[in-house]
Structure 1
Amino acid sequence: MTVAHQLRAVGLDFIEVAPVRLVFAREMSAGPEAVYRALADDVPGWAEWFSAVTFARPTGDGSTREVRLRGGGRFQETIIAAKEPEVYAYRVDVANTPGIHAFAEEWRLAPSGTGTLVRWTFALDGTAAVRFMAKLGRAGLGRAFRGAVAALDRRIAA
């Protein structure tokens, strides 16, 4: 990882109190159990359905992950919540992006009819410039999330 930056270790509570919280929600036709398995158990599969992800793999005993993003972002992450089929969350421990102090994401899954309501929370703390850019990127993150959920739904159905 080029120029690794160690981030602050945060827990699940950070998701609710982070200076930048971007929350997106969308319904899927797949059930919560299938969605959870795709998120938590098929980490390499993320590159197949989330267009921003170019590479993902579990590391260590599976409680950590390595993720690479389009554009060169690289992260080492720790799973901070894995409660099937309701919540899957992770924090970034090491990033090659300067200015980020703490970063976590949470995927909450709730039954919705015969499918699942997926709520993704992007939680971040960083320099003023990083916080500003994250908020500025809300629309793009929303599009990426909607596309990812649609692609995941197709992948699970196939």
Structure 2
Amino acid sequence: MAHQLREVGLDFIETAPVRMVFVQEMSAPPEAVYQALAEDVPGWEEWFAAVTLARSTGDGSTREIHLKGGGRFQETVIAAKGPEVYAYRVDVANAPGARAIAEEWRLTPSGAGTQVRWTFAVDGTRAFRMVAKLGRAGLGRAFRDAVRTLDRRLAR
């Protein structure tokens, strides 16, 4: 059952009770990576294996995301500062115990490519926070695989 989460801003990325930060290098330039993240939302289905549906809604400032395993999210973009930062919060989720979720993709030039820093920030019940922490290794693996797949896609 879907439920409304707490509205959070960019500051939550740094202050959330549970924060997971993952970093990966890409050969693609920041502008291309940003375009894939922020402007080609349906493309997420092609490079982020956990995503089964991704679409912009409304005027493009909101998104609908479905994940393998049944996760469903309605999100609001809270930062679109191309080509450096793309961030969004989850407004509605079917994740039991979630109270607030936000994600930030920070892109930094690195040689001819990009360093991608993804922060996954959450708050929820004690059980939800514990499950989130236990999922760290899987989230990291999913992030690394997604970034590698996106890099290959952008190289074409």
Report if TM-score (shorter chain) is over 0.5: yes
After TM superposition, give the deviation of residue 4 of structure 1 in Å.
1.5
Distance in structure 2 (CA, Å) of the matches to 1:84 and 1:91:
17
What are structure 1's unaligned runs of at least 5 residues? Answer: none
After TM superposition, give the deviation of residue 79 of structure 1 in Å.
0.0
1:134 — aligned with what? 132
Equivalent residues in 2 for 1:1-158 (5 A)?
3-158=1-156
What is the DSSP-based 3-state SS (H/G/I as helix, E as strand, rest coil) of the residue aligned with 2:8? Answer: coil
Stretches of 4+ aligned residues off by more than 3 angstroms: none
**2:58 alignment partner AA:** G
Superposed CA RMSD in Å reads 0.4
After TM superposition, give the deviation of residue 98 of structure 1 in Å.
1.4
TM-score using structure 1 length? 0.98
**1:48 alignment partner AA:** E
After TM superposition, give the deviation of residue 53 of structure 1 in Å.
0.4
What is the DSSP-based 3-state SS (H/G/I as helix, E as strand, rest coil) of the residue aligned with 1:97? Answer: coil
Provide Cα deviations, 1:56-84, integer angstroms capped at 9, x if missing partner. Answer: 00000000000000000000000000000
After TM superposition, give the deviation of residue 111 of structure 1 in Å.
0.1
Distance in structure 1 (CA, Å) of the matches to 2:92 and 2:119:
19
Distance in structure 2 (CA, Å) of the matches to 1:11 and 1:25:
22
Distance in structure 1 (CA, Å) of the matches to 2:135 and 2:23:
16
TM-score using structure 2 length? 0.99
Q: Percent identity?
A: 78
After TM superposition, give the deviation of residue 96 of structure 1 in Å.
1.0
What are structure 2's unaligned runs of at least 5 residues? Answer: none
After TM superposition, give the deviation of residue 55 of structure 1 in Å.
0.5
